[in-house]
Structure 1
Amino acid sequence: MNTSVVTDSLEETQANVNREVWSTLPEVGYPVIPDTIHEKLLERYCYSVSYNKFTRQPNWVMWQLTGEHVIKRKEGVWNEYREDTELPSEIRSTLEDYASSGYDRGHMCPGGDCNWDDEGRDETFVLSNMCPQHPKLNRGDWKEIEMACRKWAKQYGNIYIVCGPIFLKSQQHERIGLNQIPVPEAFFKVVLCTDSSKPKGIGFICRNTDGNRKKDFYVNSIRQVERVTGYRFFPNLEDSIKSLVYDMDDINNW
């Protein structure tokens, strides 16, 4: 299965934008990815997705998290995983693909970042926001990074987050389910804060394994994550801010 093809036309991508989002993601800009990678843009209320019909997973998921969202978070446990029926059946993953696979349905945008809004939280449980993720990563180090992001949003007032899978070109991917969903070899996350007196940036790359390490083990700069993924993050960000934040790789600055 070839995971790299020409992207949908601009008209087709725009036709698949679902509805207005509350956030200011366009101010910093959606990630720019190589034109050899298929993408379909899906805009949810709390997050936006670049969806790849060949991997049946996101290329990236992006959202804005504010301190107010963290304060308004509702407690509870939800288990409302479902197929994304806004996508044609021939390009979407199914619950059966993940069943007994040994991998979690790993949220990219976590429900806990959107459960200040019931509809927004529910939208995080569609499989177009999921990737096959090692259970110990999903429930361990990846979750710890998610919790750190909430702490930073509360501390600084507003952050932008982008994350997604990494498929290594040099490896033959493990596959799961009837639809032969490829398992990512790693995941990336980049975090940007522009609302503090001193802008901040940080990146993470986590191998899709059972690692149990401190967060600084995964730390990279945003520029390093760009090199690994081939993506260009926050394209609308002013060059003066980029020059300050893109090479930051010290989590102690957060």
Structure 2
Amino acid sequence: MSAKSIPMVYQLRSIFLAVSLGLLITGCRVGRPITPVSGTSLNRVDNLALGNPSQASVSDPNNYLISRPQYVLSYNRSRGIANWVSWRLSPSWKGDSRRTNDFRPDPLIPAGWYAVRTGDYTNTGFDRGHLCPSDDRDATPEDNAATFLLTNIVPQAPRHNREVWKALEDYERQLMSNGNDVYIIAGASGTGGTGQNGFATALANGKLTVPATLWKILVVVPAGSDNTFQITANTRVIAVTIPNTQTAADKTWQAYLTSIDALETLTGYDFLSNVPTDVQQLIELRIDGGNS
């Protein structure tokens, strides 16, 4: 081998390694959620960093795991809505892409299952309410469009959606603007809500459950924190549970503060399972005091 050929070999090896690394990173974005490793930054793909609250998997139709780059969720076939949706709000997800309003069935729903359609909400008196908000995912048109898949949507009382729930969503983004990243889990529980046309338990001839409450957990960490092991006994956590009614909007979201322990009792889920147990026990017991 000549002396001139050696640099070319190294160049080819470098190209091969770069291509291989690129394929691995791409695979991470579309594959199963990744559990954070201390010292490893997962950036935009750590939407399940706090843990899988219900141990959702692709083998359980009523606790069916759907993972995409924008968020991870547990879907309930019998209810036609998500049990929960988990995502991370950080500046890497924010941009100036317009709201797509492209409500549509989720292509990841298995063949043979009923896929909720946007028309199932028409004239029902309930909004198509986001769990992961549109404004949390506007870095690209593709990111924003993902929030309009109907597995991320639940029947929500209009005032609940547009007033008290929206105020909480706005506060999440305010926390981010103030220099934090926010890990968020939101879900729907129970059956029966009161929309613009009165009380209902289901839409679409029983295929789409109207939840009784919507709940949410926010875990606030310094911007750029690499993983859940940054969470300490002093980490701020905010938990709420808000009845799915028009009159819920007569109060601010702060009136519905609760503890993560109380939400675990309500849902049967194990939240923050990736956080060390001693830290969990302290922060899950607290009700937020409104510190900035």
TM range (shorter): 0.7 to 0.9
Report which of the two structures shows the higher radius of gyration computed on alpha carbons: 2
Query: CA 1:37–1:237 in 2, change beyond 3 Å: closer, same or farther?
Result: farther
Residue 93 of structure 1 corresponds to 116
TM-score by length of 2: 0.72
How far did residue 116 of structure 1 move? 1.4
Q: Does 1:23 align with 2:45?
A: yes
What residue identity is the alignment partner of 1:253?
N
Specify every segment of 5 or more residues in structure 2 that has no aligned partner in the other structure, as ranges.
Answer: 1-27, 34-43, 193-198, 224-231
Pairwise mapping of residues 1-254 of structure 1 onto structure 2 (< 5 A)? 19-20=30-31, 22-32=44-54, 38-69=62-93, 72-74=94-96, 76-87=98-109, 88=111, 90-168=113-191, 174-195=201-222, 198-210=234-246, 211-212=248-249, 213-254=251-292
Bigger mean CA deviation after superposition, 172-181 or 29-38: 29-38
Give the count of matched residue pairs. 234
User: In 2, distance between residues paired with 1:33 and 1:62?
Assistant: 13
User: In 2, distance between residues paired with 1:38 and 1:218?
Assistant: 28
TM-score by length of 1: 0.82
Residue 3 of structure 1 corresponds to none
Contact map agreement 1:18 1:43 (CA 8 A) in 2? no
Note the alpha carbon deviations across 1:61-88, whole angstroms, 9 max, x for none.
000011453xx33264431111112213
User: In 1, distance between residues paired with 2:186 and 2:97?
Assistant: 24
Contact map agreement 1:156 1:193 (CA 8 A) in 2? no
User: In 2, distance between residues paired with 1:155 and 1:124?
Assistant: 24
User: In 1, distance between residues paired with 2:79 and 2:138?
Assistant: 27
Specify every segment of 5 or more residues in structure 1 that has no aligned partner in the other structure, as ranges.
Answer: 1-16
User: In 1, distance between residues paired with 2:104 and 2:172?
Assistant: 26
Note the alpha carbon deviations across 1:163-183, whole angstroms, 9 max, x for none.
1111159xx961112453121
User: In 1, distance between residues paired with 2:244 and 2:262?
Assistant: 18
Structure 1 segments, 4+ long, off by >6 Å, are 34-37
How far did residue 32 of structure 1 move? 2.4
User: In 1, distance between residues paired with 2:55 and 2:268?
Assistant: 7
